[in-house]
Homo-oligomer: A and B are copies of this chain.
Amino acid sequence: MAGNTFGTLFRITTFGESHGAALGVTIDGCPAGLPLSELAIQKELDRRRPGAHAKDSDGTERSEKLNPAGTARKEADECEILSGVFEGKTTGTPIAVIVRNTNQQSADYGDIKTKFRPGHADYPFFEKYGIRDYRGGGRSSGRETIGRVAAGAVAKRFLAGRGITVTAWTSEAVGIACETFDAGEIEKNEMRACDGTAAKKMLERVIELKAEGNSGGGVISCRVSGADGLPVGLGEPVFDKLDAELAKAILSIGSIKGIEFGAGFEAARMTGKENNDPMRMDGATGKPRFLSNNAGGILGGLSTGADIVFRAAVKPVSSISLAQQTVDSSGNDCAIEVRGRHDVCLCPRIVPVIEAMTALVLADLILRDEASRL
């Protein structure tokens, strides 16, 4: 049983390989009447493109030279809405979006036709499907996230109608941690870091790693906020809890190796007294609020109304040009040096993917919550 469908009421199915004709997504369950255009989707797709996120203050895109964290691959990634939108609004029918691949030089990938790249999905994919789509990873390529990001753009629109925003950023990369948080800084620097000074150091380290033929990882943080607070009670006990659904969504992204909510692994070392978030009535809103947020906005798997906060671990890029030990599909030991265009650190490009998946979970759980009430 394949697993290319995500969500239940706001449900997406993605398709496409890195070197096939096109990638895309169908979104089923988006309510009718939501304003939607290709522009809104394109904007998010542009954020996940290599070297695309960093703009100078005058709005011009920075050159590849200044953005060494990204791959050198040039992709327009122009989206087309095939269905589900009429006169600028969703119609309640499935929304299909595609992005054509325009840069499919399979030749680049010839030398990995038989060798399994360490840290890659090559070996288990070959064992599972009996087929080697050696053209750059096929379905396990990072380009698979195009469908996620396109769908996430629609989910973000849905959330915007309820005053909900999802923001992710790099809080740590290539061994360097951010020390300050400036939301305005995130989309300004190449690392999508929340600390401009740290971002500069990260870029320097990225350049070193690139020169070495090596790579690095990092940590991405994500926060969901509401203009008037978030809805209370999102999440469906006992299995489809808010944190469970988010964990699945985020871990389904390639290169993610861990997730923690609120205080996360630190909570494991606290006492109950330290970790429990006390509550008081908020005079302004007339609603209860939490004096701290170790819970990350989630109790018993349900949203509490406080900001939803989590962090995800990103492993270093597997494709490195340093020599590594591996085996080939004929069962021989060999060495491999992975050539070609590759990111050094995925953090800045995973940021919009994490936002997309988070938005999809929220949209789905909002619809599910409403369907659970008389």
Contact = CB atoms under 8 A, between A and B. Distances in A.
Interface stretch (A57-65, A189-197, A256-264): A256-264
Interface in A19-45: 20-24, 26, 28-29, 31-34
Interface stretch (A47-55, A70-78, A84-92): A84-92
A91 B13 contact: no
Interface string A257-300: 11111111101111111111111110000101001000110011
> How many monomers of this protein are in the complex?
4
Contacts of A280: 325, 327, 333
A169 interface: no
Which of A116, A216, A251, A280 is most buried by chain B, counting CB atoms within 10 A of its CB?
A: A251
A304 to B, nearest CB: 5
B125 A371 contact: no
Contacts of A135: 86
A332 interface: yes
Given A216-B271, A247-B247, A281-B327, A140 B300 contact: yes
Contacts of A172: 268-269
A268 B272 contact: no
A160 interface: no
Given A26-B15, A251-B244, A316 B275 contact: yes
A124 B303 contact: yes
A17 to B, nearest CB: 6
B268 A219 contact: yes
A159 to B, nearest CB: 12
Contacts of A184: none
B260 A257 contact: yes
Nearest to A243: B251
B119 A239 contact: no
A244 B270 CA distance: 27
A241 interface: yes
A248 B245 CA distance: 6
A121 B301 contact: yes
A348 interface: no
B32 A374 contact: yes
A96 to B, nearest CB: 4
B96 A217 contact: no
Contacts of A119: 272, 275-277, 295, 299
Interface in A122-139: 123-125, 127-131, 133, 135, 138-139
Nearest to A287: B331
A107 to B, nearest CB: 15
A218 interface: yes
A232 interface: yes
A331 B286 contact: yes
A237 to B, nearest CB: 6
Nearest to A269: B175
Given A96-B24, A280-B333, A299 B238 contact: no
Given A29-B372, A121-B302, 17 more contacts: A4-B237, A9-B371, A15-B96, A16-B82, A23-B83, A24-B96, A32-B373, A124-B232, A175-B269, A239-B248, A244-B249, A246-B251, A248-B248, A254-B301, A260-B265, A274-B316, A288-B327
23 contacts: A1-B236, A3-B241, A4-B93, A15-B84, A17-B83, A17-B93, A20-B83, A20-B86, A86-B135, A93-B138, A93-B237, A119-B277, A123-B279, A140-B237, A217-B268, A239-B252, A243-B252, A257-B263, A258-B260, A276-B316, A276-B324, A281-B327, A281-B332
